[in-house]
Structure formats: structure tokens, C-alpha cells
Amino acid sequence: MIHDLATRMLHGLDPETAHRVGILGLKAGLGPRQFRPDPAILRTRLVGLDLPNPVGLAAGFDKNAEAPDALLAAGFGFVECGAVTPLAQDGKPRPRIFRLDADRAVINRMGFPNQGLALFHQRLVRRSARLGVVGVNLGANLESEDRIADYVACLDALKDLAQFFTVNVSSPNTPGLRTLQSSGALDDLLAAVAAVGAKAPVFLKIAPDIEDAEADVMVAAITRHKLDGIIISNTTITRPETLVSANMGEGGGLSGPPVFARSTELVRAFRKAAGPDMAIIGVGGVSCAETAYAKIRAGANAIQLYTAMIYEGPGLIQRIKRGLVERLQVDGFASVADAVGAE
């Protein structure tokens, strides 16, 4: 309750300042802590990774790997840091984050601001002996002339320091990045990534703005290049008619509940295209136990959230997990894995 109250108080600050205060608080040890282990029914396995629960933190919150262990201690089953790019960069000009309070949503046009690969590497080296599943979201510099080389450089430098990696080709805020989702460019990218030989699982993260028919093509490319799974999905450049907030016309990627329906449709489409074995992480509009469970039943092995915490606070993690336990038990499932794709 104290941390959720603090979250509401941070809404008096502009979004980037509030975010920075939150990171500093976590680094200072002021974040929430979970002292009891999760119920056994929540334990699950994701491409060889043992997760205490299927609720993960999406990339974008801890861009520079400053507080992954504090976030794990708060109750997340896994944490994804980044996006990291080879060179430090400021990203797009401010203001570039906009709360859509009435819609419980956010628009951002950050452009991968981060402190760069060298500092990110140092921080992962310092935590390398610690337990917990920490992943890295790989990005490309705004001014890069060779985007594929950027992904390869980051993956190669960090390949022994994280438990999974995400090839992020779906941010709408780096011009031209989403073109890497097209078939020929995607093959080139995935071939280069596969050649690095990372021992940890590698996921592809896609946009929600693709057509359902592209699922078969992307699944084939992931399989061909022996990646481990897919994260569905990033923010959307569309603006649903349901939006009512004053900031709804701002440019950038929209996240939160307005993305839920479309991203969950894509989870369903990719599970159908991939069959039961490919790992799928569902993200987009997860804001409660009901939406988390819906992603799992649609075909996600695990889920991620971020935007909802801006409005609900870190207590949301425990509320979602309690709600998942209740729903799994009511439906007669012995584990999260049993519920994947159940609908």
C-alpha cells in the first residue's frame, strides 16, 4: 500500500522525472520486497528457464540495467532490461512521454535513450553471480548506418551475462527500424544474430500493427534461424476510437489497455501458426489478473507488463499473481503450463 501510494504521488511530476525517481528509489533499496516464495502452481518453464511465476517486467522500465535485482525482489518472475544500443544516446527530444490518464495508457516517442553498451555490460558483470532471470532488449542507435551490426555488437558483448535476449525490431520511434520485420530483412537480421552463438534463449519482439497473415512468415523465419521464441507485442502507432484523453494525438507508440485486444489476437494467431512448442511471451495491455490469464489462455507461456504499474503501483504484481492462482484452481489446472492456449 505504501509503494502504491508513492506511485500516485509521483503522478504530480512529469513522466520522465517520476520514472527517474522510481529507479533511484529501487537502487536505494526502497522498493517493495516479497519474502514468501510463490505458490507452486505459478512455477513455469520457458525455453529452459525456470520461472517462479509467469509475470515479467517488460523492457523500457530499467533501460540501463540499474535495478534488475530490486525488481525481481518485488515479485516479478523475470525482468527484461534495455533497450541497449552500442553507443549511448539521448533519444528523441522532450517532451516524449505522455500519460493518457482517462485511458490508463501511455504514448512514448523515446527513441531508445540509454547510457550505452559499455556501462550496461559493467552492471551485468556485477550481478552475474546473482540468481534470477534477467533478459536484455537489444536495440539499434538512431543514427546507425548498419542496424544489424548494432544488434550483433550488443548480443556478442553480453551473450554470457543474461538469461535471455530480445531482438527488438518493433519500436516505432527509431525511423526505419520496423522495416526489419519484412521477410528479406528479417532473414538477414536473424541469420546474423544466430551466427553470434549466444547460449541463452533469443526472442524476436514484433509490433502489433502487422497483419495476422504475417505470423506464418515470421514463425518460419524464427524456426529457420533457430531462435527460441517471440514476444508479442510492442507499442502501436494506431489510435483506437475508444481513446478519450487529451494527449491521444501525440506521436509515438501507444501502450496500455487500448493495445490489449490486438496484441492478444496476435498471440492467438502466432500460437496457431507455431504450434504448441514455440515460446511466446504476451505483452500489451496486461493490467490485472483477468488480462494476464487471457493472454496465457490465448497461447502465451508467460506475460509482461509495464504501463499498468504506472497507474496501479508495484502492488499490482502480487494482485495479478493471486488472481492467477485463483483462476488456475477454478479451471482445474495444476500449473500455468497447463493453461497455455487452453481457449
Amino acid 175: pLDDT: 81
Residues with catalytic roles: 171
- For 177-211, the pLDDT digits (tens) are 888 887 689 999 999 999 999 999 999 999 999 99
Q: 180 near 189, Cβ under 8 Å?
A: yes
- How would DSSP label each residue in 119-130? HHHHHHHHTTTS
Q: With the C-alpha atoms ordered 8, 304, 78, 54, is the resulting torsion angle positive or negative?
A: positive
Q: Phi, psi (5° rounding) for residue 15?
A: -55, -40
How many other C-beta atoms are found inside a 10 Å radius of the C-beta of residue 257? 21
Number of H helices, E strands in the chain: 12, 13
Q: What is the DSSP letter of 63?
A: T
Is the pTM higher than 0.95?
Answer: yes
Segment among 2-11, 20-29, 39-48, 63-72 with least mean pLDDT = 2-11
Select from 282, 279, 277, 278 the least CA-distant residue to 294.
282
Domains and CATH numbers, the chain: 2-339 (3.20.20.70)
N- to C-terminal Cα separation, the chain: 34
The residue whose grid cell reads 504450434 is 275
How many other C-beta atoms are found inside a 10 Å radius of the C-beta of residue 94? 13
Residue type present at position 22: G
- Binned at pLDDT 50, 70 and 90, residue 2 comes out as confident
Select from 256, 238, 251, 236 the least CA-distant residue to 100.
256
Amino acid 184: pLDDT: 85
